[in-house]
Structure 1
């Protein structure tokens, strides 16, 4: 699956729910930095 499309989908759905990255992160028990990485496709592995 294309990371860019996946990240864009996460961002679009999050914004439709009027959630910040932090709010989404708290709801799914991850950090806001993780949500940001998902949305931007940036990863330092």
Structure 2
């Protein structure tokens, strides 16, 4: 999975419907920091 592309998609869709990260987070029941991490592609956990 390409986390950067996924994050870009989330950000584009969020902006297209006029939501802030905080508003989207509220709808999903997560923090705005989680949404930020998703959008920047750093939310995944590396497993070795």
Going from structure 1 to structure 2, the CA distance change for 1:44 and 1:3 (only over 3 Å counts) comes to closer
TM-score, structure 1 normalization: 0.91
For residue 23 of structure 2, what is the aligned residue in structure 1? 23
How many residue pairs get aligned? The number is 45
- Once the 2 structures are TM-superposed, how far is the Cα of residue 41 of structure 1 from its aligned partner? 1.1
Give the secondary structure class of the aligned counterpart of 1:23. helix
Structure 2 segments unaligned to the other structure (5+ residues): none
- Structure with max Cα Rg: 2
Give the secondary structure class of the aligned counterpart of 1:5. helix
- Give the superposed CA RMSD: 1.5
Structure 1 segments unaligned to the other structure (5+ residues): none
Give the secondary structure class of the aligned counterpart of 2:6. helix
